[in-house]
Structure 1
Amino acid sequence: MSQHIGIVEDDPNIQNIVSAFLKKEGFRVSILDTAEAGIELWKDNPPDMWILDIMLPGMDGYEFCKKVRNESDVPIIIISAKDEEIDKILGLELGGDDYLTKPFSPRELVARVKRLFKRTIPVELDKTKQVNVSVGPLVIYKNDRRLFWDGQEQEVTTKEFDMILLFAENVNRAFSREELLIKVWGEDYYGSDRAVDDLVKRIRKKIADMPLETVWGYGYRLRFDKD
């Protein structure tokens, strides 16, 4: 089945141009005029990716991005007439994966959509090369992307899983925030290291007993004493 993209944009011209280019590449498209309509689509038929304008009537794109990101790691590309660096950083820190300033080339947008899908969709790996990770009460099944703490399966997002797996495979090693940005978000991520702090907070909230320590002035590590 083709991937489903939700376009939240109130400019009919941009709606038509972007949807036409995406449909030509085989994507399914849903067009929404408001963030509120996007929320309804998210409840009923969640897209595999969002293309999101910031300046919208009613709820703005920043708030919509924040709401979606609190529940999912679905890719979000922000498109906006705001080209100030602070606007780009804010959009990315709230959970956007990419940012395009209007006016933009529809072909460039399509290229970024494809690149983002390629980066975020897990590659099917050879099961014989998969090794389950077990550290204290933490058990991770890498191929199935399932995570258990103290015998209970935990519902985690893609980035939460990736960060916990990285720590579990490198127990007691301290990672700087910059390292975590590269390893979890990718080298082409454009944003501040506040994204790392926010992700760690979410993990700690979900699994309160996990010994995920702050290395002050540096970063984080998963701490387990050796027997």
Structure 2
Amino acid sequence: MMKINDFLKYEISLNISYEDYFRLIYDNKYLIEARLGPNRTFIAKKSIYGNSRKKAVHKAVQWFWKDFKGVLGPAHKIMTVDDPHEEVSYDDDFACNDLGHKYLDETTMERLLAEADGELARDDSVGTENHPPNSVKRIKRRRKQHIQLTSRLTQSPGGTIYYRMTELSEGKNVRAKSKTVKLASKSLDKALKEVSRRGLDKFEKFEKKDKKKKSLPAKIKHAA
């Protein structure tokens, strides 16, 4: 029974070898919608519904194993799911192992590789029944940069915020030096409050004085 929110239609395609197809007939699993295609391969189509391609792929895999029980071998070798709503698209955060990006049909595969512009390739690894390979693999990884939130606060690609605090070195000549501290906060406003609450900014004035001392000789020389 189709759920109310499973309103998007997708199509499963099975490319079944000539021998395997007749094995299905002997096992009383005849696919009436299958048609003989090129290279003595039967092509079977089945519609499936879901609220996303990821959900549709999940349902397709469940259907495949429930109906065929391993007679046709691993699903990734013969089954694909189309992408009529173009949900599969490439960006910096594209995850090859996302279920919604697996079991790609040829049309979707070609479009995705074109969008990736050399950063993705077909994944031809063998895989297993329990650990099927992805449809694509990354061959070039973009290095993600930290975001500079303020002069002292930076945020990693994973969302962790760091504060560059000033601390004083020990000894007679007290000098300011920097140290990076990991914060628990995930937003700029909360990070600023955390810095103040933990007193991480208490030695900032020493760093400012140190910078003024270094710039003083240059100013005197310029005045002379």
Q: TM-score range by the shorter chain?
A: under 0.3
Which protein has the larger Cα radius of gyration, Structure 1 or Structure 2?
2
Q: Could you say which structure has the higher helix fraction? A: 1
When normalised by structure 2's length, the TM-score is 0.24
When normalised by structure 1's length, the TM-score is 0.24
